Amino acid sequence: MSAQEINFDGLVGPSHHHAGLATGNVASMRNRGSAANPRKAALQGLEKMLALHRRGIPQGVLPPLARPNLRLLRALGFHGSDAAVIAKAGKLEPQLLSAAYSASSMWTANAATVSPATDCADAKVHFTPANLSAKLHRSVEHPDTARLLRQIFSDATHFVVHDAIPGVAALGDEGAANHTRFARRHGEAGVHFFVYGDEAFASKQSAARRFAPRQYAEASRAVARLHQLDPARTVYARQSLAAIDAGVFHNDVIAVGHLDTLLYHQAAFDDEAKVIRTLSGACDAAGFSLNCIRVADDQLSLQDAVATYLFNSQLLCSPDGRKLMVVPAECQDHAACRRYLETLTASGGPIAEVLSFDLRESMRNGGGPACLRLRVVLDAPQAAAITSRVFLDEALYGTLADWVTRHYRDRLLPEDLRDPQLLDEIRGALHELEGILALPGFYSVD
């Protein structure tokens, strides 16, 4: 059956700000406390979505989760009216207020892991929301993410939305950012590639670490079991310690795959040769050969890969079969990276065209083009079963851009989160959004 990959991008929420909440994510740490522009952030994201839609690439949108997360603040002992909770948290624990207000659900590559129906034994599309247990502000996303996915992918004949696996550090799961599916065509059986930072119950890593890993092998294996994937078509690999310590907090900061292509940096994996051999073997057994594009350190250093986010690009196919690569503007501003991109698009090169986008607001929190999207492969009946208005077209783009322009601030500092008016502004905006996207009641639950 023919199927299409739909990129569901996260719509940046109105409380987007730079709070430095994500240790190990060098951009987040560097930009802590600087002024953010939520309006610009959301419009930058929408521009990317529109540009891909205009190229005939199916584009979906996932709304932001409700913020502030007052459940979190109340669970941490702040009480009284909503305004009182905000005021007290802002005074006593400003980082907790930032966590409760974080717009981090915009990075939908971390929302869930998704497996197309062709690969799951029960022939349904499976979703497992990521527990994101490594970071407080992200660990509170999954209950609402599960509710959102269940509302959009509600038809039980086609979809299964699991609960996140238990949220403890040893089962840390960061979703699709550490998972890639390879296949000859979207509607054909694929090979699943899970990359983890450590193995909780069999750690052999004795070297001192600069940054803690976020994804555990036990979590990856649990997701593969929940999704009823064929073990012969599932490959696991470990990130290199050097990569994590250089700021590769998710594998999608150092590797990207699409259909039969894997683009990766030589420092991405522990035991690179074995990983590539095993993955290529699994693809051969599935009936297609994997095209590996290896970037050596002398072409782009690990540090420059993290700084430019070259690997956080999207590899896409336009309807005429041309291979496109969506990169953040930072790649074109960097001489070595720009030179490397020229080699990819030179005649006979693997990429037909590079599209560059200004996503600087998201990038300043460590989120590039690939972080902002969750890939969902759907066939026509599955896509038709979705009744919410989440497929982007010109009209929806226009409505959302107008909604953002009317409701979002153009400057937000962490200390502005104390402003009780912000809470009302955001509530009003999200109430309207629920109507725009035909997601009745999504923001009514507290």
Whether the CB-CB separation of 209 and 245 falls below 8 Å is answered with: yes
Q: Which of 174, 199, 218, 361 is catalytic?
A: 174
Does the protein bind ligand SUG through residue 104 (CB under 6 A)? yes
Shortest Å distance, C-beta 177 to ligand SUG: 3
Shortest Å distance, C-beta 373 to ligand SUG: 9
Question: DSSP for 132-163?
Answer: -TTSHHHHTSHHHHHHHHHHHS--TTTEEEPP
Shortest Å distance, C-beta 20 to ligand SUG: 5
Rule CB under 6 A: choose which of 59, 69, 105, 110 binds ligand SUG: 110
Q: Please say if 126 is a catalytic residue.
A: no
Indicate the helix (H) or strand (E) that contains 275: helix 272-285
Q: How many residues bind ligand SUG (CB under 6 A)?
A: 22
Q: Which of these segments, 81-89, 106-114, 294-302, 348-356, binds ligand SUG (CB under 6 A)? A: 106-114
Tell me which residues in 15-54 interact with ligand SUG (CB under 6 A): 18-22, 25, 28
In 3D space, the residue among 173, 146, 174 whose CA is nearest the CA of residue 160 turns out to be: 146
Quote the CA–CA distance of 383 and 305 in Å, as a whole number. Answer: 36
The CA-based dihedral angle spanning residues 372, 101, 63, 21, taken in that order and rounded to the nearest 10 degrees: 10
Q: Strands across the sheet with 261-265, in order?
A: 255-258, 261-265, 291-295
Whether the CB-CB separation of 182 and 190 falls below 8 Å is answered with: yes
Shortest Å distance, C-beta 174 to ligand SUG: 7
Rule CB under 6 A: choose which of 158, 186, 250, 258 binds ligand SUG: 250
Mask for 126-165, x = binds ligand SUG (CB under 6 A): ------------x---------------------------
Tell me which residues in 71-90 interact with ligand SUG (CB under 6 A): none
Shortest Å distance, C-beta 103 to ligand SUG: 8
Task: Record the tokens describing residue 335, joined without a space.
Answer: 């001489």
Indicate the helix (H) or strand (E) that contains 378: strand 373-379
User: Which residues are near ligand SUG by CB under 6 A?
Assistant: 18-22, 25, 28, 102, 104, 107, 109-110, 138, 177, 249-250, 252-253, 365-367, 371
